[in-house]
Structure 1
Amino acid sequence: MPRMQSQRAVARRAAPPERRWPEYVRLVPGALNAGLAALAVSVLGLGVTAGLSSTSSAQTTDNISQSAIVTTVVPGVDQPSEFERDSSTISRSNFRAALTDTGKAVDLDVTALSEPADSAQVDLHAYDARTALLARESKATTKLQQKLVKAKKKADAVKKALGTPTLPVKSYTLVARFGDVGAWARYHTGLDFSAPIGTAIHAPTAGVVEHAGSGGEAGGWAGSYVVLKHADGTQTLYAHMSSISVQDGQKVTGGKLLGHVGQSGRAFGPHLHFEVYPRGAEPGDVYTAVDPEPWLHKLGLKLR
């Protein structure tokens, strides 16, 4: 009996491997590996399955092409047809911080991700707003320039009408001031510019000739004289002239020639006696005259 068992064992060991498995297994050589793969999916996950499948694929390629694949290899174990994935599943949360190239997390703007801005549209709106602003600024600048031009023209017209402020005598020696007292006067009522006969006398600023000649209120002492009335109502008197170059009612500007220095009237040598009368005063009524210097200073004129 032992001898017979030994011979059977030898025969069994010598038999081809495929004859050792039950008939249903030999019909499907790759079924066992497929079942093991399914079992690995349920227990260990995809990584083990991949290893088993790759190991068995080389051994069973020919047999699988000739036999049908079964979905059940071991009672109670199902082979999945495919890995089912939820299409809404994501690999990680959209709200987690993204990693930069340096590995540092960078917070993302959730609102910006869910509602991306149209940069082209934003740029267009910004361009339109900037263009409108520039147009308004340009319009305002143009209006301002126009106002400045008008103001300059008006100033030029006023300047032209007033002329150039000028002292009554350009080359002179001041021999008496307002308020001085001397043998020739108890109270001096103006400024005396001593100059040679024939020296030009000019209008300090614009005005209208109220008197040109002798006689009148100041005729008894002023000799030949001129009276100018200015825009603010002030009147100026130029006495002791040797000649007169203007006439009554004539408009003059600053620097206009009125006549020449003389010694007419009550004078002790050639000079110009210059007086200033405020609004309402009568030229020639010497004690209503005021100091001429402040009036000249308002014109920017100073005595030397």
Structure 2
Amino acid sequence: MLDFLKQEMIDSEILSGIEEFRRRYPIKTTTLSRCPRYLYYGKAIWEQAAAALLCGENILLTGSKATGKNVLAENLAAVFGRPSWNVSLHINMDASYMIGTDTFQDGQVTFRPGPVYQCAQEGGFCVLDEINMARNEALAVLHSILDFRRVIHVPGYGELPLHDASRFIATMNYGYAGTRELNEALSSRFVVIQMPEISNENLEKLITREFPSMKKEYVKQFCGLFQDISQKCLGGEITSRVLDLRGLLDAIRLIQTGLSPYSALDMGISNKTFDSYEQTLIKDIIASRISPKISRKAVFSE
């Protein structure tokens, strides 16, 4: 990961800070650290996020769909060499799941730690996914964790101070069903990074890395297809439901397997909306970029 950041020309002082952080907080050999599936491309965002974490801050990543919030969070945990836990803050999430609860084991009552407790104990990075969907009673337990106190209150078991390497990265989308504004007390505990849409240059890097045998002209066509759909969403002509970067990558993977491009793109993009008029518009956009006659051999080098 550090080699990747050097290739992206990340500031040398920030890279030195990350290396010092890793030396200061070596990871336990028994603790598993997940390798990220995708890499996040975006020099400015990398520098903002890394600098904030080096300063001991917690981060709130905001932005529209397909901007790579969760990808960046996973990448940050990997580059800092920390184990990570993901907490999906749906409406039914409660404090006992996040921190832990009593359980009956070997004939006695014991404490079963939750993901936030484990993160605090082992010095990990905890991703609080869709934080603006959670109930207030679930978020209230985070207040003492995210401010200067850095401590977890566990009823019946006392307090757990956070490991010095522990960090919290929250993500949120605006406008989704069930979401709402964060209260001031919670939002003030984060530094906020507004995630931009992926640029055409960075999208080309991502697709080239994922599909190294893909011919350059088709890398450009699929990038153009994604940008065309993005512009239609911004203009209000179609809903953001179909603006799905994962769906585009899935479609290319299906084409690589041997499926026809139009069938693959229907599965990955067009069928994400259930409105027949929108589906027709999306298929027209696809037809303007991708010929129905192309095959896998035309798209990928042998």
| TM-score bucket (shorter structure) | under 0.3
- Computing the radius of gyration from Cα coordinates, the structure with the larger value is 1
Higher relative contact order (CA 8 A, sep 6+): 2
Considering fraction of residues, name the structure with more helix: 2
